[in-house]
Amino acid sequence: MNEIRFPLPDVGEGLTEAEIVQWRVAPGDKIALDQVFVEIETAKSLVELPSAFEGVVAELLVDEGSTVDVGTPILVIRADDAAPDASAPAPATVPAAAHPATTAAAPPSGTVASHAPVAAEAGGAVLVGHGSSGHTATRRKRHPSPGGAHEHLAAPPPPAAPAPHGPAVVAAPRPDPGMPVIAKPPIRKLAKDLGVDLSRVTPTGPIGDVTRGDVIRAASQVTVFRNIQTPEWPTDREDRIPVKGVRKAIAQAMVQSAYSAPHVSVFVDVDATRTMEYVKRLKASTDYAGVKVSPLLIMAKAMIWAVRRSPTVNAQWTDDEIIVKHYVNLGIAAATPRGLIVPNVKEAQAMSMLELATAIEQLTLTAREGRTQPAEMQGGTITITNIGVFGMDTGTPILNLGEVGIVALGTIKQKPWVVDGEVRPRFVTTVGASFDHRVVDGDVASRFLADVASIIEEPALLLE
């Protein structure tokens, strides 16, 4: 048997270090090819690492909670002679769509080089040099078996016929209270983080299992921060929280943005009554069945439309030039239990309303699970932050590093508003925005925000 030392790979562009969050194996355990053996936290997200080798775990070289540099050996495996040849060179090129991650840094002398895990199209772990050449299902289909977790459950009903205007989401009946809840481990962890009791969630999965969307729908935004109940004062006088991982990355980016780009902010109050009516109609449409629709979707569409009319707000400043981008990678600031991150919807300008709604929902769910990959947070061109979900009217957002514009959507609530000379109750919101004044002049900033406000006030303008 060969002894292999597995180094910490670079799972993102330019990663230098990561924290060992949780080991999934222990010394003496057998480990299979592509089996997830450890969960790490980078400066951007949580990542599961699959094994590039088969064999037996000989030693865990790093304790949980420790931060180590890329290339540092973290695991020793005694590999069978029949295991894949670890010294064989990896393919020279890897299809970008299937393998977005980079390979690991060169390991120290005496170790065997490994390859960084990347995500397959089906969501499973694939290793560069060990992955498939095309789309491969990485999860086994679940079948009821004697003695298994499903032996007391009735067979799932036959699939329902699709609706005339799109697929229908058919909720499985709530199992008897005495029956076990069917949910995958990541779903159970998400429910725990959000304070959701799975036994009270109506499942919509094909075999009566609870899905990620079921958990999110059962939880309100504020439960992410445990703000519903007021805890007792801790017995310890102080807490000392290490500055690392996502929090360290947030701090560095905010300081660099705030003190390198001269911010200027503008605000406007908007009658959002027609937006609320439009959202209500979309929710009732069969085309949007099972898709989350909110005023944030209309705001996103408004920003994309306004960028076409004021393209310099969708740019990047360098010391030598201003790069105006004629595409929109729309960043959505997402509050997660691990901190604020800003993944972005790629090529949002080419999406229909339904496609954009689906993309935003998927992006948000992935972010709240802590599974956003580094590539999903790179290349953003302009950002939206929805502070209205916290009941805030407005704010002065700090630019996402590398961008020159960010828009904040405030809470939408009924207020007295003058319409045709009469005071009427209307749904009103405040939209604020910050810009890099080196790139965006005051007149451009004002025109851009006025355009955004005009769409919020009258969404029918999007049809022109």
Catalytic center residues: 437
Q: Three-state SS string across the chain, please?
A: CEEEEEECCCCCCCCCEEEEEEECCCCCCEECCCCEEEEEECCCCEEEEECCCCEEEEEECCCCCCEEECCCEEEEEEECCCCCCCCCCCCCCCCCCCCCCCCCCCCCCCCCCCCCEEECCCCCEEECCCCCCCCCCCCCCCCCCCCCCCCCCCCCCCCCCCECCECCCCCCCCCCCCCCCCCCHHHHHHHHHHCCCHHHCCCCCCCCCCCHHHHHHHCCHHHHHCCCCCCCCCCCCCCCCCCCHHHHHHHHHHHHHHHHCCEEEEEEEEECHHHHHHHHHHHHCHHHCCCCCCHHHHHHHHHHHHHHHCHHHCEEECCCCEEECCCCCEEECEEECCEEECCEECCHHHCCHHHHHHHHHHHHHHHHCCCCCHHHHCCCCEEEEEHHHHCCCCCCCCCCCCCCEEEEECCCEEEEEEECCEEEEEEEEEEEEEEECCCCCHHHHHHHHHHHHHHHHCHHHHHC
Neighbours of 391 (CB within 10 A): 10
Q: Is residue 361 within 8 Å of residue 292, measured between CB atoms?
A: yes
Q: Which two tokens stand for residue 417?
A: 């508003």
Q: Is residue 6 within 8 Å of residue 75, measured between CB atoms?
A: yes
